[in-house]
Structure 1
Amino acid sequence: MTSPDRPGDERELPTSSLARASKMLSLPLGAAGRQAVGLGRRLLGADADRVDAELRAAAAEQLFAVLGELKGGAMKFGQALSMFEAFLPEEVAKPYRQHLAKLQDSAPPLPSSRVQAVLRHELGPRWRERFASFDLRPAAAASIGQVHRAVLTDGTPVAVKLQYPGADQALRSDLRQIERLAGVVAPLAGGVDVVTISRELAERISEEIDYTLEAENQSRAAAAFAGDPEFAVPRVWEATPRLLVSDWLEGRRLSSVAEAPASERNRVGLAYVRFLFAGPARAGLLHADPHPGNYLVLPDGRLGVVDFGLVARLPDGLPSAMGRLIRLAIADDAAAMTRGLADEGFIARDVDAGELLGYLGPFVEPARVEEFHFDREWMREQFLHVRGSSARHGVAMRLTIPPVYALIHRVWLGGIAVLAQLDVTAGFRGVLAELLPGWHD
């Protein structure tokens, strides 16, 4: 029997492969049942459009309930979906948007008894002596942990991130199930390769579940951006493999900026892009989890950045070829661009240079002009272009992503998706010119 002082009781987080697989399987089974009910209602004369809308709303409810309850890898998958919903047609995206957005920072919390068990296990039986106060109610939830507000004995407000008991086992189980079921849920992501996303996460699972490694990443970033007038990275006070104590950042969610005036959206969106590209140069790290739940707009206007569990370590900064290759694409020099991509390891099989340039057009379009408007409609149009171009010429099947670029690629696409969600008009090209190595070569 597990001691009550150890966080081994996993009743709140089912980790057996069978239990978690059955939860994930409820998604496609639920979809099949809804379709059958919908067909019956249509046959009985119900309005088809209204039935379809109700079915989509029900699917969104189920998706949130299942993924939110599982946490772990399923939550990570839900966060990826919420970031890429800009790909979806508006009539499909609308019922999913609200529910998927919740997955960015929301999940059923651990009860206070389990919270205290984790604290005793990580900090010892006298853990309360480290804090002047500790709120046992979570302030936010992440994919494999939840965050509590506390105050240190010296009066410093801090965030205490606790890992869910059994999260490591749950995460591995979820990712295996997600790979198997990716084909079923891929339509919700607008065709995004969710299998690749899940494999990428799985490869870095050992780092994400060890908060001491996250603390090292965050401390490096905090030192690099200390005193910065535009960005704030919380200092780390203490870390164990399943607990992380850092400065509390008070602010509003990045996603809330979508409702702000255009000037605010544009300012914050540009800061978001600048941080993504500044990290490798200043800290040797690329923050590789770009979903909006990791960003806060602070009262003084700075952009606060949290959750450094998933990073790309780039001690020499971004690859020096990036800026040069993008400039070649902007100049429509298909031959030189193709040679450069081949040298970097992006081309697995022979490909026509002109077709490749056409295929990659959407990825570099925002860099062609001084100021670019990112919105959902543009995002969907570019996705359809890429999918259609690949279908006609098979370009995608001839390309690969070298390991050093895997997370860079994810951040590039994810960052653009967030800008489209926020409806940002910004000088994207200027950020690249300032921060991308090789741009001026």
Structure 2
Amino acid sequence: MSDLPRRAVTRTAKLAALPLGFAGRATWSLGKRIGGYSADLVGSELQQRTADQLFRVLGELKGGAMKFGQALSVFESALPEDLAGPYRATLTKLQEAAPPLPAGTVHGVLAEALGPDWRAYFDEFEDKPSAAASIGQVHRAVWHDGREVAVKVQYPGAGEALLSDLGQLGRFALLLGPLVPGMDVKPLIAELRARVSEELDYALEAEAQRAYAREFADDPDVLVPDVVHQGEGVLVTEWMEGVPLAEVIAEGTEQERDRAGQLLARFLFSATERTGLLHADPHPGNFRLLPEGPDGTEASVERWRLGVLDFGTVDRLPEGLPPTIGSALRLALDGDAEAVYGLLREEGFVRESVELEPESVLDYLDPIIEPARVETFGFSRAWMREQAARIADPRSPAHQLGRQLNLPPSYLLIHRVTLSTIGVLCQLGASVRLRDEMADWVPGFAPSDSAGVEPPHDVADARA
């Protein structure tokens, strides 16, 4: 058996073992309860064991398994603290690293993409990867003109691995759901599968990255490395130093986390309006905090910039974000339940066959729009857990109403990116002037009258 089929069999076996492991632990928990342990204690221990196996297996694999793990990791802040704490470090590793390819395999990919004399393109090339992710790994190098560059090399067979892994994960999506309250895993897996061809196409990625780099070339807040060269399975871009956002989350000062959060929100809302593209992979591994100003010199935290990486998954929105989003938020902030309901029904969020009470819909939305209601909002894991529990609890009115709402296909990716970004802001525990960013960049969203503004959100309480 060749290496590729053997690896495929191994991957499938590891993923297939996950539901068996879940079932085995369920049997174990029943035995524990019969033996006299409390249901709460057993439930907590069972969920910890399940999560531990899930993220350990996802971390060992590349392809769709790791892609799914990265997408799921931004929702870690929705988990109860006693469950999230034990494997937060494992989730962080999923955002940044995977077992590397052997140097010989990397050289083979480069030879195929750049020709047998591929080394002539580089003055220096580091065989040891500086980062490894779901479908490729990155090597630091020096281009022949002296520029420091990042060389992304796609894993051989990455497409087959993506589809195979996501197919396996889709078969037991219902078992994964309870790990992240309020998160519907099945549509996430379906969406990742639908975008496999785009994710593998480095020509499309290079085109998107060039568009972002052009638009943000002189931006004081955001830096996007430009593309240097692109070939089959290889993408060479300018190298970018900086502090990974995962490190800011774990060790950053309050001021650094607030700055990172503000810049992340600014990038989320401004980039689509400015480029017609939505960066659709907002996990911490794709961002860096740059402790310098636009001139490259050391700067105070208030002038630090956000570095953005990985443009393999983007949504093309030439007109920017749909104005319905901004208009619905503005109307909800104004408390106009009838107008919000009418707009949501017109746009397909409420099906024609469904009748809902407009006031109930506004009550459902009210906690979600809280960050846009105040001048500064303190995002926190506690707030994220509260929202997840409210929507996930089958006994809650929010859960019952949410089941009757519909998410139109054109909003699927926008919805996931927004939720993912909020998840990262909660991991940062950042205080963010979200309403200002929305007023500047979201079509249809008008700034609230200052006379009706509530006092700033209590950051100390939010971070409790």
TM over 0.5: yes
Q: Which aligned runs of 4 or more in structure 1 are off by greater than 4 angstroms?
A: 34-61, 388-391
Q: Secondary structure at the match of 1:104?
A: helix
Structure-2 change in CA distance of 1:49 and 1:339 (3 Å) = closer
Map 1:225-304 onto structure 2 (within 5 A). Answer: 225-258=216-249, 259-300=251-292, 301-304=304-307
Q: Which amino acid aligns with 2:283?
A: H
Map 1:9-408 onto structure 2 (within 5 A). Answer: 10=4, 14-15=7-8, 19-34=10-25, 58-258=49-249, 259-300=251-292, 301-348=304-351, 349-388=354-393, 392=397, 394-408=400-414
| Structure 1 residue 48, shift from structure 2 partner | 9.6
In structure 2, distance between residues paired with 1:35 and 1:175: 24
Report the more deviating stretch, 126-135 or 28-37: 28-37
Q: Which amino acid aligns with 1:97?
A: R
| Structure 1 residue 299, shift from structure 2 partner | 3.0
Contact 1:60–1:95 (Cα < 8 Å) also in 2: no
Structure-2 change in CA distance of 1:354 and 1:389 (3 Å) = farther
Contact 2:182–2:389 (Cα < 8 Å) also in 1: no
In structure 2, distance between residues paired with 1:389 and 1:325: 26
Structure 2 partner of 1:419:
425
In structure 2, distance between residues paired with 1:423 and 1:127: 45
In structure 1, distance between residues paired with 2:290 and 2:313: 23
Structure 2 partner of 1:6:
none
Structure 2 partner of 1:5:
none
Contact 2:242–2:288 (Cα < 8 Å) also in 1: yes
Structure 2 stretches of 5 or more lacking a match? 293-303, 448-464
Q: Secondary structure at the match of 1:92?
A: helix
In structure 2, distance between residues paired with 1:41 and 1:320: 54
| Structure 1 residue 329, shift from structure 2 partner | 0.8
In structure 1, distance between residues paired with 2:41 and 2:93: 25
Count of residue pairs brought into register by the alignment: 432
Q: Which amino acid aligns with 1:86?
A: S
Q: Secondary structure at the match of 1:103?
A: helix
Structure-2 change in CA distance of 1:182 and 1:356 (3 Å) = same
In structure 2, distance between residues paired with 1:250 and 1:267: 17
Structure 1 partner of 2:436:
430
Q: Secondary structure at the match of 1:136?
A: coil
TM superposition score normalised by structure 1 = 0.91
In structure 2, distance between residues paired with 1:24 and 1:371: 43
Report the more deviating stretch, 378-387 or 139-148: 378-387
Spell out, residue by residue over 1:313-353, the C-alpha distance to the aligned partner (whole angstroms, 9 max, x if none).
11111112221110111111111001111222221233221
Q: Secondary structure at the match of 1:238?
A: strand
Q: Secondary structure at the match of 2:99?
A: coil
Alignment root-mean-square deviation, CA: 2.5
In structure 1, distance between residues paired with 2:30 and 2:356: 45
Spell out, residue by residue over 1:331-385, the C-alpha distance to the aligned partner (whole angstroms, 9 max, x if none).
1111100111122222123322112112222321110111111101111111222
Q: Which amino acid aligns with 1:440?
A: A
In structure 1, distance between residues paired with 2:418 and 2:53: 30
Contact 1:85–1:190 (Cα < 8 Å) also in 2: no
| Structure 1 residue 187, shift from structure 2 partner | 1.6
Q: Which amino acid aligns with 1:10?
A: L
In structure 1, distance between residues paired with 2:37 and 2:350: 52
Spell out, residue by residue over 1:257-285, the C-alpha distance to the aligned partner (whole angstroms, 9 max, x if none).
22222121111100011001111111111
| Structure 1 residue 60, shift from structure 2 partner | 4.5
Contact 2:25–2:46 (Cα < 8 Å) also in 1: yes
| Structure 1 residue 395, shift from structure 2 partner | 2.1
In structure 1, distance between residues paired with 2:102 and 2:33: 44
Percent sequence identity is 51
In structure 1, distance between residues paired with 2:258 and 2:190: 33
Spell out, residue by residue over 1:153-185, the C-alpha distance to the aligned partner (whole angstroms, 9 max, x if none).
111011111111111011111111111111112
Q: Secondary structure at the match of 2:375?
A: coil
Contact 1:60–1:100 (Cα < 8 Å) also in 2: no
TM superposition score normalised by structure 2 = 0.87
| Structure 1 residue 388, shift from structure 2 partner | 4.2
Q: Which amino acid aligns with 1:435?
A: W
In structure 2, distance between residues paired with 1:195 and 1:91: 26
